[in-house]
Amino acid sequence: MKPRLLLHVCCAPCSPHVVEKLREEYDVILYFNNPNIHPKTEYENRLNEVVSWAGKEGLTIIVENYAPEKWFAATTGMENEPERGKRCETCFDLRLTTAAGKAKELGIGAYGSVLSVSPRKDAAIINRVGERAGYTAGVKFLTTDWKKKDGSKATVRMGRELGFYRQDYCGCVFSLKERQEKAQKKEAKTIQAELS
């Protein structure tokens, strides 16, 4: 019998490649705990997609209550931090600490996360936070960088094949704002080019 592993997932598109790899060695149980996602409709879109996919794959998924107030409380004062900065570390910490605690509560000896598969996320920070949370809870964190060995490419390809809904921002209100500002700048440039 394979050992169990609790895998924190942030959305469906980031998950299939990581899950395929981990299933070779583990009995994978998904854990959706993402109080960072804003607004609630976006949270529901991501949750519904991952729950639907888990059902098709025969995977068990545990869904934590949506508690954005905890996320906002933890990141107060970090509103202007860039992506990959202090706010992101706190965001990882909040989600992975809860995941480590859940693994301990369920008697699962190891946990991990799909987060490092994103080219926009720093695996070193995720691993440091995950190991610290695991140590505190008394469970092992699976230290990895899922981007490696073309992991990000495989993830994008599988997400397309599976026809997943794919968001275009990381998740929090600040990353949404950043994406909107970029889109506005791009639009302004296009208009300027057309007028010149």
Q: Which residues bind ligand SF4 (CB under 6 A)?
A: 36, 83, 87-88, 91, 170-172, 174-175
CA 45 distance to own-chain centroid? 14
Give the SS3 label for residue 97.
Answer: helix
- Write down the least CB distance from residue 128 to ligand SF4, Å: 14
Choice between 116 and 144, CB closer to ligand SF4: 116
- Write down the least CB distance from residue 9 to ligand SF4, Å: 14
- Write down the least CB distance from residue 76 to ligand SF4, Å: 12
User: Residue 127 belongs to what H/E stretch?
Assistant: helix 123-137
The counts of H helices and E strands in the chain are 7, 5
Question: Do the beta carbons of residue 62 and residue 30 sit within 8 Å?
Answer: yes
Residue in the structure block whose two tokens are 């906002």:
72
- Write down the least CB distance from residue 196 to ligand SF4, Å: 34
Choice between 116 and 175, CB closer to ligand SF4: 175
Choice between 148 and 177, CB closer to ligand SF4: 177
Choice between 151 and 171, CB closer to ligand SF4: 171
Q: What angle do CA 28, 34, 35 make, to 5 degrees?
A: 155
The Cα–Cα gap between 141 and 132 comes to: 9
How distant, in Å, are the alpha carbons of 11, 45, 92, 100, 142 from that of 149? 21, 29, 23, 26, 17
Choice between 59 and 152, CB closer to ligand SF4: 152
- Write down the least CB distance from residue 19 to ligand SF4, Å: 20
